[in-house]
Amino acid sequence: MPLGANISLTATAGGATATERTSYVKINIARLAPARPDQQFSQAGSAVHLQESLPVSVRRLEAKDIEQVVAIEKEAFSPLWVSSPFKRDLNNKRASYLVACFDDEVSPEEILAEIDADQPEDRRPPALWSRVLGRIGFSSKVETEPENGAFDIAGYVSVWYQADEAHITEIAVKESLRSRGIGELLLIGSLEAAIEYGSKVMTLEARVSNFIAHRMYQKYNFKSVGIRKAYYSDNREDAVIMTTVPINTDEYHELFTSLQSTYQERWGRMCIDH
């Protein structure tokens, strides 16, 4: 499978495709079929919910996406974080901005409503209270919907190219949509773009406390190579610097192809166009 190829696979559940707008939010795979051993579960109170995939695809950033991307950036990093120059760099050949966007046929608002309904009340985010605190400066969390309340961007990744290195400067997913494969899909898209660009290695920073992210990066052969002290402005947390083994080799191609296949099997679809 060529690394830069456009891939589009869609899983079905009970005969209904995951991209049919009228039926997606009514599909709960956990209720329709017994779980396979490799499927991931999360414990929420006394109920066990299957982490099902979402109908999202990865494509290049467009000007219309910037408002939503900036909101996700502030939610993930901090209102004090120095924002990436998304608009200025739309046509920058040394930068690559990718977004995970919902399919046209689905309603992200309905999906979020179902996700929220599946959460116990004590675990639902207090949206109004968070918004108030954020506006007066006591919280780093902000609402990720634009002013009109509509959205179709689930996450984004920004990559800068310098010499033989591709550097992921930011990767973030809307908080309410995490743990559903979106971050890994963005990572796969950024690696594909870097390999296509001709980069030899990829590097990034991650919070030292973000062990879930560490494990995902390690799976794609990122190694810890150093620490950046007080890197994050919201709490001055250190960042671990992670760099891949060479990504332009046959050995990495074989690993990367295998990981993409595993991703498709786990989430049922992988659609990337960069």
In the chain, the amino acid numbered 81 is: W
What's the token pair of residue 34?
């017994």
247, 191 Cβ separation under 8 angstroms: yes
Other CB atoms within 10 A of residue 57 CB: 22
Tell me which of 217, 220, 232, 252 is the catalytic residue. Answer: 217
Tokens 């502030």 map to which residue? 74
Please confirm, yes or no, whether 217 is among the known catalytic residues. Answer: yes
Please confirm, yes or no, whether 205 is among the known catalytic residues. Answer: yes
N-term to C-term CA, the chain: 16
Taking the CA atoms of the chain, what radius of gyration do you get in angstroms? 19
Strand (E) positions, 105-210?
153-162, 165-173, 201-207
Tell me which of 192, 205, 232, 252 is the catalytic residue. Answer: 205
Q: Indicate which residues carry an active-site annotation.
A: 205, 217
